[in-house]
Amino acid sequence: MRITDVEAIVLRQPAVDERIADGSQDDLVIRISTDEGITGIGEVDSAPEAVRAIVHAPGSHAIAGSLRELLLGEDPTQVERLWDKLYRGLIYVGRRGIALHALSGIDIALWDIKGKAEGKPVSELLGGRRRDRVRAYASMLMPETEEEVTERVRALRAQGFTAVKLGWGPLGRDPDRDVELARAAKAAMDGGEVLIDAGLGYVADAKTAIRVARELERIGIFWLEEPFEPDEYEAYAELADAVDIRVAAGEQDTTRWGFRELLDRGHVDLVQPDVTRCGGITELLRIAELARERGAETVPHAWKSGIIKAASLHVNAVLPDALFQEYCVADTPIATKLTRERLPIDAEGYVAVPTGPGLGVELDEEVLARYRVD
């Protein structure tokens, strides 16, 4: 089998609200075709047009290659070898950031092809699943008022979620207000877990974050996520060393080398590699192994469509220490309709790992065409 085409497809809903941190309003879908008629799909949670340029741009010289050109004619089932080839081809362009975002989407699509070629779900190719379902946490933006928090969290609890994460929105403006919003969420969750994503709100202010974290501990919040900007390792270490609540971070980071920095310098308790950014399925597994070696937990970040849900579920199926599946509940067409499979939660708040070949999800071609940006 050989690769015949690589497409980077930009999607965008008609009206994007740029004031909110909702990445499900646009998308970048990778589609890889082969000479045997098997097609693989991947996804990238990044700046869609910039990723498309990285994928389709012609190569410049020996160490500044075009991702598409590097893949044409290759055997798509040799996923790990192609990861190394593409990473080397990106060294001149950029070993982190958006270049790795593009590589991530390609890696997911290659695993999808390999699974379809072998008639197996991706989780079986990764060594065999340890679990058939994963506990889901509903992931949503933090509302502005305690009343809205209570209403939204109660609704999610009624839908069957046993855990919920609230993030960004007003968090970081007023530390005392942040605590009150978290308190309202915990009360409304009625015995379930509440996770708080500060959305980089404390920038590098470890003292404020420590004060907030200690209050969140008293309330019973499960973790405090991304209180600081990604490279503020000293602030992360000061916070993590001072409090008992889990300090989580990493959705902005890429590669095992980037996460080594976060773990060794930042002392975080839990890492959150995003399969569409960190380097794909291949690299996420390496990151999780690194985290385990350092005594940290791994919960993949997953905010976009059914593609990232499925890819993250396959990873969670094989991780020894899987805790949660992030479950985006944004009511956007990309989040809810891009894949034909909806991947619902069950009565106990879990979501099943797909069992079909590859990722186990397929694009809804009508939705793809409707939101495609040519």
CB contact burial 8-28 (16+ within 10 A = b; e otherwise):
bbbbbbeeeeeeeebbbbbbb
* Catalytic site includes residue 267: no
| Dihedral angle of Cα 126, 273, 290, 355, to the nearest 10 degrees | -20
CB contact burial 130-160 (16+ within 10 A = b; e otherwise):
ebebbbbbbbbbbbeebeebbebbeebbeee
Kindly name the residue from 56, 101, 267, 301 that is annotated as catalytic: 301
Residue 32: beta bridge partners?
A: 6, 40
CA distances from 321 to 60, 169, 236 (A): 42, 30, 23
Tokens 């069957």: give the residue. Answer: 160
CA 278 and chain centroid, separation:
8
Cα–Cα distance, 212 to 176 (Å, whole number): 8
* DSSP notation for 263-322: HHHH--SEE--BTTTSSHHHHHHHHHHHHHHTT-EE--B--SSHHHHHHHHHHHHH-TT-
CA 342 and chain centroid, separation:
17
- According to DSSP, residue 114 is labeled H
Tokens 């350092």: give the residue. Answer: 294
- According to DSSP, residue 364 is labeled -
By C-alpha distance, which of 37, 43, 45, 27 is closest to 109? Answer: 43
Angle, helix 175-189 to helix 206-219, in steps of 10 degrees: 20
Say if CB 146 and CB 69 are below 8 A apart.
no
* Other CB atoms within 10 Å distance of the CB of residue 45: 26
Q: What amino acid positions are annotated as catalytic residues?
A: 301
